[in-house]
Amino acid sequence: MVKPHTTRVRLLLWLRHARQRAYQLANYKVWILSALIGVVVGYGVIGFSLAIDWMSALAYGEGRIAMASGIRDLNPARAWIVPVIGGVAVGALLYIAKHLKWLPEVKFQGVAEVIEARAGPPGHVSFRAGMVNTAAAVVALGSGASAGREGPAVLLGGAISTAMSERWGLSGKDARTLLGCGAAAAVAASFNAPIAGMLFALEVILGNYALSVFGPVALSSITAAVIARIHLSDVRAFVIPLYGESGPWDIPFSAALGIVCGLVAFGFLLLTSSLQLWVRRQVARFKVEQALLPPIAGMLMGTIALFYPEVLGVGYEATTEAIQGSYTLAMLTILLIIKLGATAVCLSCRFGTGVFSGGIFFGAISGAAFGAVLGIFIPGLSADPTFYAMVGMGAVSGAILGAPISTTLIVFELTGDYQMTVALMIAVGIATLISQTFFGSSWFHWQLGQRGYDLSEGPQGMILQTIRVRDVMRSMPEDSSPLEEGVARLRPDHSLGEALARMRDHDRDGMPVTDIDDRSKVIGYITQVRALAVYNRALIESNIEHHR
């Protein structure tokens, strides 16, 4: 028989544990700031979208959604010169920002920078960089750059959330949670998709579904979506026509479409990554000023505008036309090829960022073409091409972004149609598998890989890559004796993983750390024991963060 005092002690211990757990989950400052971030980012994204519309209307007489129609009615000379002027303006803006040290180099930033900020030091997105990036994106997209707006929007959300974290003195886990809140709010307001915005932040930015971050991220996403719906009404980006009910053959056909979409996504990733590396080599080889790259892309877009204006900008008008079955099979093929090339050039030449809108375009065109082919050869068994266009939208974009869950929901919330969800999930899964198999990573992870980050090893590997020797070393007196040549040493900017590898390779328990500019000047010392202790502590904190 349990004694009364024992039961009372157990009850008191349980209540204390429950109170501590409730306090951990109910971090009121984070909850309040997450709602505030939803409001501010929601209005920021609305302003961003309206600014693009204003720029597009000023340049072409129509907003971004009907840009192609506006270009067709213009004088050819004006249609050609507008993207060139836009490229010059973007190049000048990025050049000035770099020389003011607001940007590290003359290029756009986007989702990859937000993921990098979440992964480790310095752990924040520069507010100035976010503002410059937003302004440059307005000019680029408004003047016809073939790119997306979700990248700049997510960076804007990250910059706003970072500013609030710093203003309220938050760091570590709480700051990373708010970073996810900013990204979720940006996606939710951009696409009128609160569920997808929340899952995008959890799946792509934060990389976990911990209960302690789920609530604040959901609150930010819902708040931003409500703000967008209040001011822009519940209007969807695409007009979906009525189509027939799906049949039993649509599932295997959707699986086949997933293969096609996976190959399209792989082609885009291979083309864009190869072109970016080639452009980088030519810039280094010929000492080309990077600010001249956007005008070059602008000249190409101006030339394309004379013949196929559908590919300019975010391409929503052409995407809607493809969904509604307005294009012939030949036209669909031409638009897909030109859009792939135009987007690769714009991203490689610093004339835009963001790949989701492009993925939506590629997928809608590919799906519509697939449906048209089925309609020609087996008209009695296949569904309407509209069905396959919507499935393709999710399959290609999910494979490019490496975010199958959130892109499936984004397409569902964009279309408002539940009928094709099962087929969509099958196609997205197959397309993502093919793209990952042949290319090896998503677009964002490839970008981070170019900066030395390998996300394939998960949080444990990222800890070794993001913690620097300067964060771990013991400082040495300024009058320390110079280090002789031939002695193994480390630099303060080496990663913790590099430090442990060097100590292992040289069979050393510790190593001196020398100045970056003067390799003989010792500024610190790091031991293997201390490095492993820091790593183990970071592992424990990461494990707690990912499972609470």
Per-residue model confidence as pLDDT tens digits over 361-375: 999 999 999 999 988
Q: What is the pLDDT of residue 14?
A: 67
Residue 22: band (very low, low, confident or very high) from pLDDT cuts 50, 70, 90:
low
Q: Assign domain 23-232 to its CATH architecture.
A: Orthogonal Bundle (1.10)
More confident residue, 246 or 449: 449
8 A C-beta contact, residue 348 and residue 393: no
Q: What is the pLDDT of residue 236?
A: 61
Neighbouring residues of 381: CB distance < 8 A, sequence distance ≥ 6:
247, 249, 253, 374
Instruction: Report the b/e string of 201-232 with b at 16+ CB within 10 A.
Output: bbbbbbbbebebbbbbbbbbbbbbbbbbeeee
C-alpha 197/C-alpha 220 separation (Å) is: 9
Q: What is the pLDDT of residue 539?
A: 80
Q: What share of the chain is helix, strand, coil (3-state, %, to 5)?
A: 70, 5, 25
Averaged pLDDT for residues 523-541:
86
Q: Evaluate if residue 24 carries a pLDDT over 60.
A: no
C-alpha 385/C-alpha 508 separation (Å) is: 65
Which spans in 349-488 are helix H?
356-377, 385-401, 404-415, 421-439, 443-449, 458-466
C-alpha 208/C-alpha 477 separation (Å) is: 42
Domain 23-232 shares a fold with domain 250-449: yes
Alpha-carbon Rg of the chain, whole angstroms?
26
Averaged pLDDT for residues 455-464:
71
Residue 247: band (very low, low, confident or very high) from pLDDT cuts 50, 70, 90:
low
Q: What is the pLDDT of residue 471?
A: 84
* Nearest by Cα to 311 from 361, 367, 385: 361
Domain 250-449 grouped into CATH 3.40.50.1100 = no
* Nearest by Cα to 291 from 107, 162, 26, 508: 107
Q: C-alpha angle 241/247/251, rounded to 5°?
A: 100
- Domain boundaries of the chain, sorted by first residue: 23-232, 250-449, 455-547
Q: Evaluate if residue 537 carries a pLDDT over 90.
A: no
Residue 12: band (very low, low, confident or very high) from pLDDT cuts 50, 70, 90:
low
Q: The CATH number of 455-547 is which of 3.10.580.10, 2.40.30.20, 3.40.50.720, 3.30.70.20?
A: 3.10.580.10
DSSP β-bridge partners for residue 510: 527
Residue 117: band (very low, low, confident or very high) from pLDDT cuts 50, 70, 90:
confident
C-alpha 111/C-alpha 157 separation (Å) is: 10
* Nearest by Cα to 365 from 381, 347, 385: 385
DSSP-derived secondary structure letter, 351: S
**Average pLDDT of the chain, as a whole number:** 86
Tell how many helices (H) and how many strands (E) occur in the chain.
Answer: 22, 3
Residue 519: C-alpha distances to residues 482, 483, 497, 501, 511 (Å): 9, 8, 20, 19, 13
Q: For 185-225, write each residue's pLDDT tens digit.
A: 999 998 888 998 999 999 889 888 888 888 999 999 999 99
Q: For 45-101, write each residue's pLDDT tens digit.
A: 999 999 999 999 998 887 777 788 888 888 899 999 999 999 999 999 999 999 998
Q: What is the pLDDT of residue 421?
A: 82
Residue 8 CB neighbour total at 10 angstroms: 10
The structure tokens 């056909």 sit at: 253
* Nearest by Cα to 179 from 121, 122, 124: 124
Q: For 128-150, write each residue's pLDDT tens digit.
A: 999 999 999 999 999 999 999 88
Q: What is the pLDDT of residue 246?
A: 60
Q: What is the pLDDT of residue 162?
A: 93
3-state secondary structure of 508: coil
